[in-house]
Structure formats: C-alpha cells, structure tokens
Amino acid sequence: SMMLPLFTTIIFTLVSTASAECLRVRGRVDCPTDLHRIEFVRVLLFDRDVLPWEMDDLMGETKTEEDGSFVVEGCGDDLGWWNQPDPYIQIDHRCPEGGHSVAITMRHTVKWLPRNFLPEEITMEEAIRLDLDQVEKTYTAYVPS
C-alpha cells in the first residue's frame, strides 16, 4: 500500500534528526571546611530527561585533580531537534557543611550548565563551593551505589 513507504520515511526522518550534542566542562571544586576533600571527587555529567519514565542519561564522568580542578566531557543524544540535551553536573563528595568538621554521608552538589556544545567549551569561572547546600534540582536523578 501507499501508506507503508510514507510511514517508513517519517520514521527514518525522526531517527536521522536525533541530535548528538557533546560538551566539555572545565571547573574546580572548593571545600573551605576540609581542604583535603577536593581531590579524587567524582564529577558526573548528565543530560536531564524530561520524560517521566526515563532516567537522566550519564554522558561522562571524571575525578578531580589534587587542586580540585576537573574536565568532564560527553555526548547526549536526545531524539529529535526539539529536544536538545539539558546538561548538568553532579558532584559526589564528602565536604562538610559550614559549621561541621566531617560529612558522614555522601553529599551531592548539582550545577545546571548552559547549552554550549562543542566545539565551544564551558568554563566555570568560579570554584564550586561544596560546603554550601547547592542541590538545585528537586528530583532524584541518580543515586550512586
């Protein structure tokens, strides 16, 4: 029938417009309450999925250097031109909150990122203060094991 080729064309068009966008983020973490807590900190680069049944996609991960600096990169591929990646980084750390000397449980700091895709890099000018309560997302995207 005439419908089948048309349907196939529509599906193909949808698939071929899936956009793979890549990011590279440079930044640095700071922990004034415990200066030893800025090295080997896990930095995860995510793409926020707005669909309720989808998990956020992990695009890349890295660990911080001795001075707290990091470069994390990865690609997100959301179906279709209407749905560019919504990137954010999640930092899993044990930097104590202000007024505390230890952090018993793993803490998570989240920073939303601009949609600046490669070849443009994202450089976070200010250090990310891990001692402050900075969880800016109101949902649980990813709980590391």
Pinpoint the alpha helices (H) of the chain. 3-16
Non-local CB neighbours of 32 within 8 Å, separated by 6+ positions? 98, 129, 131
Tell me the whole-structure pTM to 2 decimals: 0.77
The architecture of the domain spanning 16-129 is: Sandwich (2.60)
Residue 144 has pLDDT above 60, yes or no: no
Tens-digit pLDDT profile for residues 42-63: 999 999 887 777 788 899 999 9
pLDDT band at 84 (very low <50, low <70, confident <90, very high): confident
Cα distances (angstroms) measured from residue 90 to each of 81, 96, 105, 136:
25, 17, 16, 10
Tens-digit pLDDT profile for residues 94-137: 999 988 888 888 999 999 999 899 999 999 999 999 999 755 54
pLDDT at residue 55, rounded to an integer: 82
What distance in Å separates the CA atoms of residue 56 and residue 98, rounded to the nearest whole number?
Answer: 30
Cβ neighbours of 92 (radius 10 Å): 16
Specify whether the CB–CB gap between 92 and 142 falls below 8 A: no
Percent of the chain with pLDDT over 70: 74
